[in-house]
A and B are shown apart, each in its own frame.
Chain A
């Protein structure tokens, strides 16, 4: 069973969002990393300081088998990418909800958080797949 963490927001595309004082940390869920396979390369499609709209892709994750675009669940400004990922891409697989976070965004529309699924709702969504 894929792990789901309480207190995070989720999308149907299997991104997660954790909000900390006006900033959103975004990554992919345990389910998503399992589907993708070991991440062998990650390309960041924006640079720090870029504005980002909800639905924009901001990273491209590559496994040996396929490419997966990661979409932003929120709008705002890209504050930082997680530099740890570039040292060891597999951290996205081993710790998807923790050290494997991908981007930090300064929220421009905090109300978007309310549109995300909660952990219970996301778990129920996974059961339908």
Chain B
């Protein structure tokens, strides 16, 4: 299958982006150094091309009910212009995807889903359209940029007349750029301050140029997806296919803060009611004490090699300069300070459960 390219492909190529196939797209994995890019986002500001992400709208008089039926978090707490993060479950206790829900109005929601799950999510929503709402996959209409880092606001502010400090965390606004409407939200996947910006395709390139025109002097740099992954991991943000999957429930992924059991109904509720008091495994953070780097799917064991779980994501943390991992293990070993072992390169390496987020 031919890989898709975002509207920023040529601009990013000119800037030295190194591309890899990702979820059907040709995406920049890094520019020169993923470690330096990571640190730059923590100290200054960077921009990520995340145009591969999907967008789905749900509209109709029962849009709120429909959204709330699909997700585990509670969208009824949202006012217009507010956003929440939530898993969306299947009927078997697994997770279809994790997404952001933007409330435009009670009758109109904008959902942002993972690139690799767009088709699956869309089909799932259509098949579970209990309230007969109007569900449309609008992924091909938007480019998306994430500007992240302590200097993000001062950089993005230069492109808009409106005062961006008025957009609070997990809020969004429609603003004008070049007489076109752009959706801008104070959200991100790095744990830093910043914005995610949804741009109509035909002005995407001019938006990028203007962003760098104004932002370069303030230290804006393009950042690859490798750094995005390590940035989110240090902050314990879930990555679908790792911490969450069709066979991992939101409770097992330690996302109980976005599961609202008090809601009247939602897909997965019955399963979670049974699971919540006898949660057999859960997600915790681990630091490797011996040398090495934990990797996705490495086994977690006891000292004698008995398996008790697996690594969902692992890396050498660029900020902390130590090997860290998120792991799903038997609940009895999940207490902070518990010593566990990581199987890597046919060896058992000592690790321990530590507090998260790591940073």
Residues of A within 8 A of B (CB): 34, 37-38, 40-41, 43, 45, 60, 62-67
**Complex: chain A residue closest to B291, CB-CB:** A41
Complex formed: what's the CA distance from A36 to B113 in Å?
29
Question: Which residues of A have CB within 8 Å of B173?
Answer: none
Name B1-27 residues within 8 Å CB distance of A.
Answer: 18
B343 at the binding interface (Cβ < 8 Å)? no
Residues of B within 8 A of A (CB): 18, 29-30, 33-35, 38, 226, 229-230, 291-293, 295, 315-316, 318, 323, 345
Complex formed: what's the CA distance from A13 to B289 in Å?
31
Q: CB < 8 Å: which of B38, B229, B230, B293 contacts A41?
A: B293
**Complex: chain B residue closest to A61, CB-CB:** B293
Complex formed: what's the CA distance from A60 to B229 in Å?
21
Docked-complex contact B34 and A64, CB < 8 angstroms: yes
14 residue pairs of the A-B complex, CB under 8 angstroms, read A37-B30, A37-B35, A37-B226, A38-B34, A38-B35, A40-B35, A41-B292, A43-B345, A62-B293, A64-B230, A64-B315, A65-B34, A65-B230, A66-B295
**Complex: chain A residue closest to B29, CB-CB:** A65
Question: Which residues of A have CB within 8 Å of B291?
Answer: 41, 43
Question: Which residues of B have CB within 8 Å of A37?
Answer: 30, 33-35, 226
Q: CB < 8 Å: which of B226, B316, B345 contacts A40?
A: B316
Given A38-B33, A41-B292, A41-B293: A65 and B226 interface contact (C-beta under 8 Å): yes
Tell me the interface secondary structure of chain B in the complex: mixed
Question: Which residues of B have CB within 8 Å of A40?
Answer: 35, 293, 316
**Complex: chain B residue closest to A93, CB-CB:** B33
**Complex: chain B residue closest to A39, CB-CB:** B316
8 A-B pairs with the lowest CB-CB distances in the bound complex, closest first:
A40-B316, A62-B293, A65-B226, A64-B315, A38-B35, A64-B230, A41-B293, A37-B34
Question: Which residues of A have CB within 8 Å of B318?
Answer: 64
Complex formed: what's the CA distance from A43 to B288 in Å?
14
Docked-complex contact A67 and B295, CB < 8 angstroms: yes
The smallest C-beta distance from B248 to any residue of chain A, in angstroms, reads: 22
Complex formed: what's the CA distance from A53 to B292 in Å?
25
Complex formed: what's the CA distance from A41 to B229 in Å?
18
The smallest C-beta distance from A43 to any residue of chain B, in angstroms, reads: 6
Question: Which residues of B have CB within 8 Å of A41?
Answer: 291-293, 316, 323
The smallest C-beta distance from A3 to any residue of chain B, in angstroms, reads: 15
Complex formed: what's the CA distance from A41 to B315 in Å?
10
Complex formed: what's the CA distance from A60 to B29 in Å?
21
Q: Which of A40, A60, A64 has the most C-beta atoms of chain B within 10 angstroms of its own C-beta?
A: A64
A sample of 18 more A-B contacts (CB under 8 A), given A38-B35, A45-B345, is A37-B34, A37-B35, A37-B226, A38-B34, A40-B293, A41-B316, A41-B323, A60-B345, A62-B292, A62-B293, A62-B316, A63-B34, A64-B35, A64-B38, A64-B226, A64-B318, A65-B230, A67-B295
Complex formed: what's the CA distance from A50 to B292 in Å?
21
**Complex: chain B residue closest to A86, CB-CB:** B291
**Complex: chain B residue closest to A69, CB-CB:** B345
**Complex: chain A residue closest to B346, CB-CB:** A45
Question: Which residues of A have CB within 8 Å of B292?
Answer: 41, 43, 62
Complex formed: what's the CA distance from A38 to B39 in Å?
14
Question: Which residues of B have CB within 8 Å of A63?
Answer: 34
The smallest C-beta distance from A97 to any residue of chain B, in angstroms, reads: 19
Docked-complex contact A65 and B293, CB < 8 angstroms: no
Question: Which residues of A have CB within 8 Å of B38?
Answer: 64
**Complex: chain A residue closest to B347, CB-CB:** A43
Complex formed: what's the CA distance from A77 to B98 in Å?
51
Question: Which residues of B have CB within 8 Å of A66?
Answer: 295
Docked-complex contact A64 and B316, CB < 8 angstroms: yes
Complex formed: what's the CA distance from A40 to B230 in Å?
13
Question: Which residues of A have CB within 8 Å of B295?
Answer: 66-67
Complex formed: what's the CA distance from A40 to B18 in Å?
20
Question: Which residues of B have CB within 8 Å of A34?
Answer: 18
Complex formed: what's the CA distance from A40 to B323 in Å?
10
Question: Which residues of A have CB within 8 Å of B33?
Answer: 37-38
Q: Which of A34, A60, A63 has the most C-beta atoms of chain B within 10 angstroms of its own C-beta?
A: A63
Complex formed: what's the CA distance from A45 to B347 in Å?
10
Q: Which of A62, A65, A66 has the most C-beta atoms of chain B within 10 angstroms of its own C-beta?
A: A65
Complex formed: what's the CA distance from A119 to B336 in Å?
53
Question: Which residues of B have CB within 8 Å of A65?
Answer: 29, 34, 226, 229-230, 315
